[in-house]
Amino acid sequence: NATVVSNSNATSFYTANLSISTQYYFYVFSKNSICTNGPKYLATSPLIGNATTTATAALNYYFGNLHAHTYYSDGGKDNSSTIPSTAYAYAKNSLCMDYLGISEHNHATAGMNVANWQPGIDQAAAATTSNFLALYGMEWGVISNGGHVLVYGVNQLLGWEDGNYNKYVPKSDYLSTAGLFRTVNSFGGNAFASLAHPSFTDYGNIANSSLNATADSAIAGAAVSSGPAFSTSTTYSDPATSLGYYEYFKTLLAKGYHIGPLMDHDNHNTTFGRTSNVRTVFIAPSLSQTEFLKAMKARHFYATEDCDTRVNFLLNNQLMGSIFAGVSLPSISINVTDPTNTSAIAKIKIMYGKPGSGINAVAIDSINANTFNFTDYNVINGTTGYYFAEITIAGNRVISAPIWYTYNTALPVSLLSFTAAINNNKTTSVSWVTSAEINNKLFVIERSIDGIHFSAIDSVAGRGNSSLQNNYAIVDANPVDGINYYRLKQIDNDGKTTYSNVVSVNLNKALINYFTIYPNPVNSQLTVNINSKTEQTAKLIITDVFGRTLQTAKLQLSKGNQLQTVAINQLVTGTYNVTIMFNDTQLTKKVVKL
């Protein structure tokens, strides 16, 4: 039997969650709704067509919530036996819940003990099945001084209380080299942060300051609604204030942040997935932690007040969350479907803003339909803008992640993607894809250890002039230990240059004790990148060229990679030795104080 996939006045439709390499047949019937006892369908002679899906895995929609607590921190208000495994089992039987993230508070004053960190991870792994993804993260920070941040993709508890963390991050420190956002970036891969119930002065006051590149790299999203945190409703009837944090989200976009929207539940009772129908939806080929982290880091997600509304938002065939440039005018395609309200007509607004302008996005066009095709003919050549969809369907609001697009008819290269990945913990593969090249001479791959100062490590000849998709890759055979930042420098035949966005990986080589120092030379503060082969107490000693001890510090090291900062502003200009005494090793490096 056939399934109704669309019921509207539109002349096109969108359907999702199809099987790969499968032929589908489609029948289109005329409908008359303006008649007695209607609607009436013309059941004879429908339009008939068929299509076969490709062998490439289709993108699917996964609905769930990333903000919830159990008795491991300050959740379980109604039942002290509610632990992560309980929450996952409950959520599996809730409507429209493909995944649940437990984000326990990271500190003891909110009930968290480091002894419960690994059990939470283990319970998430045990609860994950082919059709349900259990995730375990943390809610870092205190609401009274800096704000709460959800963190996923990090396998260590980040904290500041003595004996109650795997990796030390100073309390209420978001922006320093030892702060939360830098620490999230240090884990590499697709670790990300999401801003929970934000206030305008939270997170180091980023909403009232210029764009912070470290924060932008770490933050994948911000809540546009949250709660009610202490709701006891299990009838899907107690939603949060509609888009209560939407203005904050738009403010960060105007500052230049690259983030998507989330709708959080912030459960503190045994209500997982059932307080309301609001969901965060990520778009990925399959339901796994790897694909989840990739999708969230790439902002392939949207926020919806309805637990089954599907939104397909593309700009020049690139998915929501994308950042790219091209020589074509921005052409937007939006499809909205609500399977439980097939006759509902959506109101779609296309929002547009300029990153870094400080001016919030505004609606540039709208339509009452479930399909919207729009080309922005007013865009100015050589400018970058972001577009996102604001949708209302059956009374429910939906906000998509933006797409950032640079329109430049003189652009020598249209870059579709630029990525870096670790190979066997020894080398790094750097790859990129172009969709068009004009007068393109050369690509130069640059690397940095601080995300600021870059140097060339390789180069690849361009294709000159090409209208085809081209794939490029190089292998960095000698990445540094710790964080490696990469960017692409494009040079055309006239000598003009453009740069890509910056990507990073965190390389931890064989578990040995070692450390690096940067910057070097240094002005007032060292950053020491330490790899410890085990959890241990070490000692840092700074001596002058005569061997006299000038400064010492006790280091509580966790297994693996970590960053420590050391203030040396009291030292005079000169050369010094920095020694770290591990349990079984003593290593020394020179540093120049400016």
Using CA atoms, how far apart are residues 323 and 346, in angstroms rounded to an integer? Answer: 26
Lookup: tokens for 360: 């919030």
pLDDT of res. 511 = 56
CB 375 within 8 A of CB 388: no
CATH 3.20.20.140 in the chain is located at 60-307
Tens-digit pLDDT profile for residues 498-520: 888 888 887 765 456 778 887 78
Using CA atoms, how far apart are residues 4 and 37, in angstroms rounded to an integer? Answer: 21
Any residues with CB less than 8 A from the CB of 150 and at least 6 apart, and which? 66, 67, 101, 103, 137, 138, 139, 140, 193, 194, 195, 196, 264
Which of 366-370, 526-530, 532-536 has the highest average model confidence (pLDDT)? 366-370
Using CA atoms, how far apart are residues 225 and 53, in angstroms rounded to an integer? Answer: 36
pLDDT of res. 533 = 79
> Minimum mean pLDDT among 183-192, 224-233, 407-416, 457-466: which range?
407-416
Mean pLDDT to the nearest integer, 280-300: 96
- Give me the percent of the chain exceeding a pLDDT of 90: 67
pLDDT of res. 489 = 94
Higher-confidence residue: 453 or 266?
A: 266
Question: Can you list the pairs that 582-591 forms with residues at least 24 positions away whose Cβ atoms lie under 8 Å?
Answer: 582/513, 582/532, 582/536, 582/538, 583/534, 583/536, 583/537, 583/538, 584/513, 585/513, 587/513, 587/514, 587/515, 589/515, 589/516, 589/517, 591/517, 591/520, 591/521, 591/522, 591/526
CB 263 within 8 A of CB 270: no
CATH 2.60.40.1930 in the chain is located at 514-593
Mean pLDDT over all residues of the chain? 91
| 48 phi, psi to nearest 5 deg | -125, 135
Q: Is 72 exposed, middle or buried (CB count within 10 Å of its CB: 0-12, 13-18, 19+)?
A: buried
Tens-digit pLDDT profile for residues 177-201: 999 999 999 987 789 999 999 999 9
In CATH, 60-307 is 3.40.50.880: no
Strand-pairing partners, residue 516, are 529
Kindly indicate the confidence band of residue 488, based on its pLDDT and cuts at 50, 70 and 90.
very high
Side-chain half-sphere CA neighbours of 524 within 13 A: 2
CB 204 within 8 A of CB 211: no
pLDDT of res. 74 = 97
Lookup: tokens for 429: 């593969």
Mean pLDDT to the nearest integer, 162-168: 94
Q: Is pLDDT of 354 > 90?
A: yes
Higher-confidence residue: 425 or 524?
A: 524
pLDDT of res. 119 = 95
N-term to C-term CA, the chain: 77
Mean pLDDT to the nearest integer, 484-494: 90
CATH 2.60.40.10 in the chain is located at 413-507
Q: Is pLDDT of 560 > 80?
A: no
> Minimum mean pLDDT among 19-23, 28-32, 104-108, 135-139: which range?
19-23
pLDDT of res. 12 = 61
Give residue for tokens 């309200």.
Answer: 341
pLDDT of res. 525 = 87
Kindly indicate the confidence band of residue 9, based on its pLDDT and cuts at 50, 70 and 90.
low
| 472 phi, psi to nearest 5 deg | -130, 155
Element (H, E) at 91: helix 84-92
pLDDT of res. 158 = 97
Q: Is 572 exposed, middle or buried (CB count within 10 Å of its CB: 0-12, 13-18, 19+)?
A: exposed
Tens-digit pLDDT profile for residues 101-128: 999 999 999 999 999 999 999 999 999 9
Q: Is pLDDT of 8 > 80?
A: no
* CATH ID of 514-593, from 2.60.40.1930, 2.60.120.200, 3.30.110.70, 3.40.50.1220: 2.60.40.1930
pLDDT of res. 587 = 85
Using CA atoms, how far apart are residues 437 and 459, in angstroms rounded to an integer? Answer: 16
Q: Is pLDDT of 424 > 80?
A: no
The CATH code belonging to domain 413-507 is 2.60.40.10
pLDDT of res. 495 = 86
State the pairing for strand pair 525-532/560-567: antiparallel
Lookup: tokens for 257: 């942040």
Lookup: tokens for 219: 């933050």
pLDDT of res. 157 = 97
pLDDT of res. 509 = 55
Kindly indicate the confidence band of residue 228, based on its pLDDT and cuts at 50, 70 and 90.
very high
Mean pLDDT to the nearest integer, 56-70: 91
Using CA atoms, how far apart are residues 457 and 437, in angstroms rounded to an integer? Answer: 22
Any residues with CB less than 8 A from the CB of 530 and at least 6 apart, and which? 514, 515, 538, 555, 557, 561, 562, 563, 564, 580
Mean pLDDT to the nearest integer, 526-545: 88
Kindly indicate the confidence band of residue 71, based on its pLDDT and cuts at 50, 70 and 90.
very high
Strand-pairing partners, residue 587, are 580
Kindly indicate the confidence band of residue 10, based on its pLDDT and cuts at 50, 70 and 90.
low
Kindly indicate the confidence band of residue 494, based on its pLDDT and cuts at 50, 70 and 90.
confident
Mean pLDDT to the nearest integer, 452-469: 90
* DSSP 3-state percent helix, strand, coil across the chain (nearest 5): 10, 45, 45
Kindly indicate the confidence band of residue 425, based on its pLDDT and cuts at 50, 70 and 90.
low
Peptide bond into 521 cis (omega under 30): yes
CB 236 within 8 A of CB 337: no
Q: Is pLDDT of 92 > 90?
A: yes
> Minimum mean pLDDT among 7-21, 113-127, 226-240, 329-343: which range?
7-21
Mean pLDDT to the nearest integer, 122-135: 97
